[in-house]
Amino acid sequence: MQEISQKKKVLYSAVQPSGDLTIGNYLGAIKNWVALQEEYECFYAMADMHSITVRQNPATLRQKTLELAALYIACGVNPEKCTLYVQSTVPCHAELTWVLNTFTYVGEMERMTQFKDKSSKHADNINMGLMDYPVLMAADILLYQADVVPVGVDQKQHLEITRDIANRFNNIYSPTFKVPEPIIMKVGAKINSLQEPEKKMSKSDTNVNASVFLSDDRDAVMRKFKRAVTDSQTSVRFDPTQKPGVSNLLTIYSVFSGKTIEEAERDFEGKGYGDFKLAVGEVVADALAPIQAEQKRLLADKGYLNEVLTAGASQAYRAARKTLAKVYRKVGFYQLDK
């Protein structure tokens, strides 16, 4: 169990267990989670309550939640150093969401970019949860008095609304919530689609060759890189505007091999695109193999995973309950005599 140190700043992050993770998610989120756990007191959640804002298959959601926990541990998230837990196992998230709902305006939720996107994508199921998604996320973060939240650009608006809600509450009552700061990830690499290299690689891309998933086996990885879109020139050069496909592959090669872009360019001087794509595929497949093996080993040990998630839930609960008790007192909820 992690030692709760007074000095370390608190970091909160969560990921939805729905959908498969791509190598972009790996570089953008998981690798950072691993690096950040040394410096911060980290709370890492599988945000299954967020997932159900879009219809899920229950058995699949449950399985994916476990698989994701195993994946994070396989990637180096250390449950001894941080609090790894499943959002729905800590009731405080739902409880604080209710209170925060009364400090959030319908109009501002309707204007959220992600809500508008998802409403058009899931026009048959624009449920209240979908609209309330940012408030649940604010509750996640504020419960743990997080100092910092690592975010990608797509989540920036959610962090801004979290800060607004926190400030609103603090101003009406008295300082209750830490107002969190976003942190910009150290690994700045942005991974784009292998098929449309001007677009971000996305786990929900309908083109199967566009995204490389962490669960892809060597054959699939090699096949996808072989089919990656490049250009009609021949030189392996980093130039995102003129050569987005090649530049994306160079970025992937660079982050997976630990080499700089310049070193990567040198590796492929005088080589053709065919050899280049093969080499990128190999570097990625080699990096994924040990992670997949470790994830598989962990998934075979459900007892251990359950132990980790149980400990995580009670650790998270302790921290969250403290904040929630304060909130309940401030808003005037009846306090039972002890």
Q: Of 100 and 149, which has the nearer Cβ to ligand TRP?
A: 149
DSSP for 223-244? HHHHT----SS-----BTTTBH
CA distance 146 to 332: 24
**Number of other CB atoms surrounding residue 128 within 10 Å:** 10
Select from 2, 10, 11, 14 the one that contacts ligand TRP (CB under 6 A). 14
- Interacting span for ligand TRP (CB under 6 A) from 3-11, 133-141, 241-249, 320-328: 133-141
What pairs with residue 83 in β-bridges?
A: 43
CA–CA distances in Å: residue 268 to residues 25, 84, 255, 258, 264:
26, 41, 16, 15, 7
Contact of 96 with 104, CB cutoff 8 Å: no
- Binding to ligand TRP by residue 148, rule CB under 6 A? no
Told to judge if 203 belongs to the known catalytic residues of this protein, a careful annotator would answer: yes
Say which of 31, 118, 224, 243 is annotated catalytic.
118
In angstroms, give the least distance from the CB of 151 to ligand TRP: 6
CA distance 228 to 23: 15
- Binding to ligand TRP by residue 178, rule CB under 6 A? no
Contact of 140 with 93, CB cutoff 8 Å: yes
Q: Of 15 and 298, which has the nearer Cβ to ligand TRP?
A: 15
Told to judge if 118 belongs to the known catalytic residues of this protein, a careful annotator would answer: yes
Say which of 31, 64, 178, 200 is annotated catalytic.
200
Contact of 312 with 79, CB cutoff 8 Å: yes
In angstroms, give the least distance from the CB of 152 to ligand TRP: 7
- Binding to ligand TRP by residue 12, rule CB under 6 A? yes
- Interacting span for ligand TRP (CB under 6 A) from 97-105, 136-144, 272-280, 324-332: 136-144
- Binding to ligand TRP by residue 50, rule CB under 6 A? yes
Told to judge if 330 belongs to the known catalytic residues of this protein, a careful annotator would answer: no
Q: How many CA atoms lie within 13 A of 230 on its CB side?
A: 21
- Interacting span for ligand TRP (CB under 6 A) from 7-15, 66-74, 181-189, 291-299: 7-15
Q: Of 47 and 109, which has the nearer Cβ to ligand TRP?
A: 47
Active site positions, annotated:
118, 200, 203
Binding site for ligand TRP (CB under 6 A): 12-16, 47, 50, 137, 140-141, 149, 155
